[in-house]
Amino acid sequence: MSATGISICMKTAAGTMADALAKIPDVEIDPEGTFKYILVRVKVKDGDANKDIVRGTKSAEYHNHIFEKVHPAMEALGMECKCLGGGKIEHNSQEKKLRVFGESTGFGKADHSVSVEKLKGAFSDYEITWSDDKK
């Protein structure tokens, strides 16, 4: 195969991976309650394309339990991921409110302003607030 052919194949593969990255939901959180969440940077392996995603669930006793589910799922898609920090989300679906606060002992505090921007994209009709308070 010529150098041009290899270059085209690499661009096509990179395009496909960027498409796969775009298909990963920005936000996956529980529909109700107060629970731990993490902010994760997902990156195309051997590439520059990346995006931040928010994952949160009541089923996680610790923040790393969320990451232990997200990491293998992203690797299966050919992605690398890194936890940027964590906190808690209070989700009140009746009042359409989300509150982001707190921090992860293991991963440190996520940049809640970034997390809130992601949440606004998924919950555009919600009132979404954040604070650096622990509770």
Give the residue from 31, 43, 47, 4 showing the smallest Cα distance to 89.
31
Give the residue from 20, 41, 52, 73 showing the smallest Cα distance to 121.
52
| Contact call for residues 123 and 98 (beta carbons, < 8 A) | yes
Give the residue from 33, 13, 29, 10 showing the smallest Cα distance to 21.
13
Which parts are annotated binding residues? 36
Catalytic residues: 63
